[in-house]
Amino acid sequence: METRIVNNIPEWRYQAEVIARLHALEDAGLPITCAGDMNRAKRTRRERMEAKVTGLTAGEPDVRVYITGGFLLSFELKTPKGSRSKDQKDRHKKLIGLGFTVITIKAKTPEEIADEVERIVRSYL
């Protein structure tokens, strides 16, 4: 898997911090659960084929938060210099067109991005 470094922080740590925060909120009794994706992982040709036929979709948001009452929030997490790829723009547009909420967040640190995700999730409860 390719790892980009921003401010000496590996990109995957941003997502790991958000998932850890969401799990802590769930453990504290908030009526949520979450799931994350790692679509950027480097794969062999065979692994790419297997991922595609089993449903891995290019551009899917990084984190999904399922909230009581059947509500779904999707988050795309970006480092300070990160930007959405064409696949991400296309996928997010499709999801929004279907009525889902997709939120892109940029932050300087994993803690800042987790704080913002928590703030948004709490605002939907």
15-66 tens-digit pLDDT: 999 999 999 999 999 999 999 987 766 678 887 777 777 777 888 999 999 9
pLDDT at 4 over 50: no
| DSSP per-residue string spanning the chain | ----EETTEEHHHHHHHHHHHHHHHHHTT-SEEEEE--TT----HHHHHHHHHTT--TT--SEEEEETTTEEEEEEEE-TT----HHHHHHHHHHHHTT-EEEEEE-SSHHHHHHHHHHHHHHH-
Domain limits, the chain = 5-124
pLDDT of residue 102: 97
pLDDT of residue 40: 65
pLDDT of residue 64: 97
For range 108-116, the mean pLDDT? 96
CATH architecture of 5-124: 3-Layer(aba) Sandwich (3.40)
